[in-house]
Amino acid sequence: MAVGVFDSGLGGLTVLDAVTRRLPDVPFVYLGDNAHAPYGVRTHDDIFNLTCAAVERLWAEGCDLVILACNTASAAALKRMQETWIPRDKRVLGVFVPLIEALTERQWGDNSPPREVAVKHVALFATPATVASRAFQRELAFRAIGVDVEAQPCGGVVDAIEQGDEILAEALVRSHVDALKRRMPQPQAAVLGCTHYPLMEDAFKAALGPDVKVFSQANLVADSLADYLARRPEFLGRGLQSKFLTTGDPVAVSSRATQFLRRPIRFEAA
């Protein structure tokens, strides 16, 4: 009954932590493609090929349902995967859906025409590849009208987080927020469009100010997954064991992951 969770590196551990708390009886297999991180500066073809390889590895672990706990993969690869690659007895879900549900206050299955929503000015902080894909704006436009989205590509933030350099990460966050606010001085809401960014949520909130509502993904994804599995329990896979897999150096990745989650984490070679 295992569910797979994939990320290009360690950022997806924020989602894993939330889904584990929300669904304590479900085993989760986490795969970090640390050997090829970060994805945010790669081409869409690279991201597609790497993501497909990772998903196949999780299928081999008995995970018929895989969560792409990576906004870059969700933005640059998921639509193509769903249209051309995923077999009918498997499911791969992204992390944009719960964010847009929360932002527009409507359920994903609500196929009524787009309508006006309360939030008019949204700041999107994401990797360069996610920003370039415009996937967030495209999905939002299906459900809401009159929303101005200003996207800021946050180069360097994922690298600093992966390297454990919190001081540099905080400085980069302040710089990126300042750059966005020069173009959109008064955002009403901010979307942290990368699963690494919740680790810097306090820095984003401090730079944005108290009047900006910050949408972070982990708990939204956890609630959405619980709802999905309640409706589609047949996609609980045959795997029975939780584990952590990495394409990188298991010792080094385990050390950084333990710092991330502040509890012992042991990765195995994928």
* Domain span at 51: 3-95+218-269
Give me the pLDDT at residue 113, please: 86
Domain total for the chain? 2
101 shares its domain with 7: no
Give me the pLDDT at residue 242, please: 93
Give me the pLDDT at residue 153, please: 96
Q: Mark the ranges of the chain whose per-residue pLDDT is less than 50.
A: none
Q: Which residues are catalytic?
A: 70, 194
pTM attached to this predicted model: 0.87
- DSSP summary character for residue 113: P
**Closest by CA position to 3, among listed 44, 11, 81, 12:** 12
- Euclidean distance between CA atoms 224 and 97, whole angstroms: 8
Give me the pLDDT at residue 240, please: 80
Give me the pLDDT at residue 171, please: 98
- DSSP summary character for residue 138: H
45 shares its domain with 55: yes
Give me the pLDDT at residue 123, please: 97
64 shares its domain with 105: no
82 shares its domain with 102: no
Give me the pLDDT at residue 108, please: 57
